[in-house]
Amino acid sequence: MTQNQPSLQEALDFLLDENQEVSDEILSHYTPFFSDLLPTQLKSILKVWDKVALKRRHALLSHLKKELAADLLYSFEVFGRALIHDEDAITRAFAIRLLDDCESDSLALEFLEIAENDSAFEPRAEAITALGAYIYYGEVDELLPENLKKIEDTLLEIAQSDKSTELKQRAVESLGFSSRKEVPALIEEAWKRGTTAWKGYAVLAMGRSHDKSWEEQILEALLDESEIVRLAATRAAGIMSLASARTILLTALREEKDETVLMASVWSLSEIGGEDVREYFLALIDQFDESEEEQIEYIEEALANLDFTEDIQSLDLFDFDPEG
């Protein structure tokens, strides 16, 4: 790599050179060249794409997904759309992940086709998960009604089929956004199966439903022995802003051993707000030393989100009709 700002050609040369080690740190220098691609740039990439070692292709796509989660200014839609029908199944799955924040009726139908007919498990699983967002878009009238119905019908069929257990679980999770009358029974059935995976997917679906009738199950899941179930319940409690979960989540800030669940508890509490949350966050920051910058930055972001939550709650408090 030169001392000057790298170029797309340098990025491609790096990918082609198997003697150079691949790491997120190195790939971060090249990330911008895969965002908002022009047709000529995409053509240059695809010209050499099949010559890049498969492991290096996967590493790049995995890295781009991480970058997308960290920086919403990136857009890998052009690149993702070009790879969604790649010959390699893992590449197709990664491409779907790069596209799961895009909103398009045409893309929804492509995901639907993959969910139904792709020859490999990984792309089907990713497409089923991605379709959950499109159910949400349909529920808020941002997707054509006929496309929403196609998606719901397909996912309902998958959830009740004899297909792979994980495909059925992912279908239940995605259907959590749906207001179809068949969905609550599917979630209830998934919950009652009692295994860690089924309970986790069921609880995620409960959170997506925003239906307070699932409150008891979510509170129970917050205390589950499995960190997978606790994580799902923690996220669901935040999505639904369950005030009844506050005490359990505050306790988790002191006692939770799993760091992923701990960080999820922080964010969910920032969505719930209420008494003592800010004080707990400030105390938690003091527990990290200066070398743990990522954790400290995360809690600071949660504090900013808590400010937003409290502002909204203040507005709601004063949002009344004086003549009502």
- pLDDT for position 2: 42
Q: Which two tokens stand for residue 128?
A: 């089923």
Q: How far is CA 305 from CA 78, 273, 300, 309, in A?
A: 31, 9, 9, 6
Domain ranges of the chain: 191-316
The CATH number of the structural domain formed by 191-316 is: 1.25.10.10
**Predicted TM-score (pTM) of this structure:** 0.90
Q: Which residue has the higher pLDDT, 133 or 289?
A: 133
What integer is the mean pLDDT of 272-299?
A: 89
Mean pLDDT of the chain: 93
Burial class (CB in 10 A: 0-12, 13-18, 19+), 249: buried
Over its C-alpha atoms, the chain yields an Rg (Å, rounded) of 22
What integer is the mean pLDDT of 143-164?
A: 94
- Helix ranges, 50-182 (H): 54-70, 77-83, 89-99, 105-117, 121-139, 145-159, 165-175
pLDDT tens digits along 25-83: 999 999 999 999 999 999 999 999 999 999 999 999 999 999 998 888 999 999 999 99
